[in-house]
Amino acid sequence: MQYRKITTFFGLLSGITIAIFGVFFFNFANFLTYDGRSLVDLFIEIKENTFVGLYEFSWIGFRFNLFNFFYVMPIIEDKGLFILEAFLPVFFAWFISGLITGLLVIGSKRGLLFSFIVISSLVILWLCFAVISGANITFVFIGNIFETGGGILTALLSVLIGGAIGGGISSAISIKIENKKIIKDVTRNGKN
């Protein structure tokens, strides 16, 4: 029982950490930079103005909007969708976050649940930092609901897919280990 609590704690901790830093590490086009912001610039901003920097830092994983795949304007304006620079870093960061969380919490249901907790905790942290830093939350949710909702939906789908796969893998591994223990016990008892 204590083992499961420890792995759950580390699953949540690693999921949150990967979700925050992953967009910088999975950007294959320009390492340690995402959406025009480098990791170093964000740390400098945190040093200069702590809560504004933390607000930007916690929101960067929600910047890609899944609805842009179905929206015509970026293509008409010849901006393109920038799949390599915009979508893949966010998808891989949230997917790997859910995968690691699911692997550590063991079980597909627990993987889905704790992956949802990871994204919920980051949204709550982002809102707390937004309130403390004095950001205009009304604009983010009312005036810009398309971008905000798309960013949260992208992260939610990615982390839940990763959590389900990670939980399924860890569940299959734990069942296989349990079956080996049962077979070993049966053969040991049969020889006595």
Q: How many CB atoms lie within 10 A of CB 142?
A: 10
Beta strands in the chain (DSSP E): 33-34, 37-38
User: Is residue 159 within 8 Å of 118, Cβ to Cβ?
Assistant: yes
Report the predicted TM-score, pTM, of the whole model to 2 decimal places: 0.81
User: Which tens digits make up the pLDDT trace of 57-82?
Assistant: 888 888 777 777 666 555 555 555 56
Q: What tens digit of pLDDT does each residue of 113-123 get?
A: 998 999 999 98
* Distance separating alpha carbons of residues 122 and 155, to the nearest angstrom: 11
**Cβ–Cβ under 8 Å, residues 128 and 63:** no
CA dihedral 136, 139, 142, 147 (to 10 degrees): -120
Task: Express each pLDDT in 133-146 by its tens digit.
Answer: 888 877 777 777 77
Domain ranges of the chain: 2-191
The residue written with tokens 């889905």 in the block is: 112
